[in-house]
Amino acid sequence: MLQAARFAFEEQGLGVPLGEIARRAGVGAGTVYRHFPSKEALFRATIVDRIELFTDTARDLAEVMDPGPVFFRFLSSVVRLASRNKALCDALEEAGAGRFEPSPGVGQNFDEALEVLLRRAQEAGDVRPDVGITELRALLVGCLSMERAVPGDGSGGAAPGRMTALMCDALRTERAVTELEAEPVKRNEARCEVCGATIAAARTGRPARYCGGACRQKAHRARERTRRT
């Protein structure tokens, strides 16, 4: 029964009907329910050992001499192995969103082991320092989805591992951090010339150029320096 469930979840994830699992196992749905109170309980039984294997591997790598390259190799191996397994993709995504816990402590143990690898790679200067475990988990889950969505099939699609390489490149240390574009200015909306904050539209008179006295003083000092030079 567990073997049939494992194969079914690997192919279809959490969406596989319990009746399909029973059919593959050659038993009735009632037999499945007698052993597992719910589909979620059966799902947990099939993926806990896989996540624990990732956790144990991360712990084994915690004290390596080259933490940066090891961190990237570990991420790549997790994506490579999990992207072939819809069950693991669903489990990691649901756990990251706080909607699923494979087993008491299993998800937290994985996060803690992964965070150690992340921190050591950052201390070695190989990973940008502004990334936290929450962002890393989001990137990991997103990369899993993309690797499954754009498999290399020889027809012009992305090569296998291409999304993983892009994720790793985004995590590497760079001299500058990409900034989000400023929100477009709405019609009849003004921005402070110093800090860019939104200024309430003036009902009468000339439109304001600064959001307050502090920015007005900064602009005045800047004009004075320009005039003196």
Q: What is the mean pLDDT of residues 193-211?
A: 66
Q: How confident is the model over 74-85, as pLDDT tens digits?
A: 999 998 888 777
At residue 158 the predicted structure's pLDDT band, cuts being 50, 70 and 90, is: low
pLDDT of amino acid 87: 78
Strand, helix or coil at 93?
Answer: helix
* 216 contact partners, CB below 8 Å, separation of at least 6: 209, 210
Percent of the chain exceeding pLDDT 90 equals 22
d(CA 40, CA 114): 25
Whether residue 206 is predicted with pLDDT greater than 60 in this model: the reply is yes
- Between the alpha carbon of residue 134 and those of residues 29, 73, 148, the distances in Å are 38, 19, 22
Residue with tokens 């150690």: 116
pLDDT of amino acid 74: 94
* 78 contact partners, CB below 8 Å, separation of at least 6: 54, 140
Q: Which two three-digit tokens encode residue 49?
A: 């050992």
At residue 154 the predicted structure's pLDDT band, cuts being 50, 70 and 90, is: very low
Q: What's the predicted TM-score (pTM) here? A: 0.64
At residue 43 the predicted structure's pLDDT band, cuts being 50, 70 and 90, is: confident
Q: What is the mean pLDDT of residues 55-63?
A: 93
| Chain centre to alpha carbon of residue 166 | 13
Q: What are the backbone dihedrals phi and psi of residue 191, each rounded to the nearest 5 degrees, phi first? A: -120, 145
d(CA 167, CA 194): 35
> Where is mean pLDDT largest: 3-17, 95-109, 130-144?
130-144
* 133-149 and 162-171 helices, crossing angle to 10°: 160
Q: How confident is the model over 112-149, as pLDDT tens digits?
A: 999 999 999 999 999 999 999 989 988 988 888 888 77
